[in-house]
Amino acid sequence: MSGPVFISPLEILQILNPFNSVGGVGMQSQNGLIVEAIRLPRVLLAALIGLLLAVCGAVLQGLFRNPLADPTLIGISAGASVGASLAIVLGASSLAVPLGLPLTSLGAFGGGLISSLLVYKLATSSRGTSVSTMLLAGIAISAMAGAINSLFSFFADNEMLRRLSLWQMGNLDNASWEKVGICLFVAIILLIYLPRESKALNAILLGESEARHLGVDVERMKRRLIILTAMGVGVSVAAVGTIIFLGLIIPHMVRLLIGPDHRYLLPASALAGATLLILADTLARVIVAPAEIPAGVVTSILGAPFFVSLLRQQRKHL
């Protein structure tokens, strides 16, 4: 319903009814085009991006046993942004490979995978994975990625610079059915596979040595989950840009409500992440209508105070 043109719920149901042809002329056909070509793919894309980021955040927080673990904080989003920015600057964002994926998506996935593997290698030793080292490595990679993105912006022309700027703020205004299809494909993979790792993630909450005694191959599980989260975050960044703090806020809030059991945490985080990003994007579209605020700006405004309060809680437990 929300937007410069108000469309009633009844008319939306009539437009979306597959047995009802919305033909004709005038406002009826115009509203049908608005809903089917602009608003519906945007809402679905927001739901899928929120789902992917929230589930990936929940997995990373469980994997590293730390509520501060987040695709943004440990450098996955930064690496993905470099890969996607490189594709935009090289003019490959509109090209596709035989799989049908745009090269921007593949560049974001590759950048996210490389940065996540680098963080994992830096934080892992024979004694296990150091969370503090992981966060510091993520900060270093994010700083390097920011410098590289600034370099890309310096050499980009006006059109590329505008696309880079809007994309780095996290914007859903370029939603399309192609992006919905790509994100839906990745979301199905994650929603099928990640719940199978729920018991292993529950075991690793007790500690890596305890998880090994319970029969979990910790190192192989880490590699699998890092690849899957890099895929989810990489595709999300390529589709809409960088959405800050969503992967941090949602899993922590859901964990406070229903507990740390990943059998319930992962699907609940997926639902909550989809809901929050839909609401954030709706707010971004109507708060200064007819102009639009990037959805990533709204999530940053919501997420920064929450992150500060989370740090204060962590400090009290020290």
- DSSP string for 160-209: HHHHHHHHHT---TT--HHHHHHHHHHHHHHHHHGGGGHHHHHHHTT-HH
Q: Which residues are within 8 A (CB) of 37 and not within 5 positions of it... i.e. 6 or more apart?
A: none
Domain definitions of the chain by residue range: 9-58+68-316
CATH number for region 9-58+68-316 = 1.10.3470.10
Task: Retrieve residue 211's tokens.
Answer: 């998880």
In the three-class reduction of DSSP (H, G, I as helix; E, B as strand; rest coil), residue 272 is classed as helix
- Angle between helix axes 218-240 and 76-89 (nearest 10 degrees) is 40
- Averaged pLDDT, 186-200: 94
**Three-state helix/strand/coil letters over 67-95:** CCCCCCCCCHHHHHHHHHHHHHHCCCCCC
Report how far residue 191's alpha carbon sits from residue 214's, in angstroms, rounded to the nearest whole number.
24
Which residue has better confidence, 303 or 264? 264
How many angstroms separate the first and last alpha carbons of the chain? 48
Beta pairing, strands 128-129 & 124-125:
antiparallel
pLDDT band at 101 (very low <50, low <70, confident <90, very high): low
- 23 pLDDT more than 60: no
Q: Which residues are within 8 A (CB) of 149 and not within 5 positions of it... i.e. 6 or more apart?
A: 81, 82, 85, 164, 168
**What are the φ and ψ backbone dihedral angles of 148, each rounded to 5 degrees?**
-65, -40
- 166 pLDDT more than 80: no
- Taking only Cα atoms into account, the Rg of the chain, rounded to an integer number of angstroms, comes to 20
Report how far residue 83's alpha carbon sits from residue 111's, in angstroms, rounded to the nearest whole number.
5
Mean pLDDT of the chain: 83
Task: For residue range 69-78, list pLDDT tens digits in order.
Answer: 778 777 888 8
Burial zone of 76 (CB within 10 Å; 0-12 exposed, 13-18 middle, 19+ buried): buried
Task: Retrieve residue 22's tokens.
Answer: 């919305």
Which residue has better confidence, 125 or 119? 119
C-alpha distances in angstroms, 65 versus 54, 171, 202, 203, 318?
16, 31, 10, 11, 16
- 47 pLDDT more than 70: yes
Burial zone of 99 (CB within 10 Å; 0-12 exposed, 13-18 middle, 19+ buried): exposed
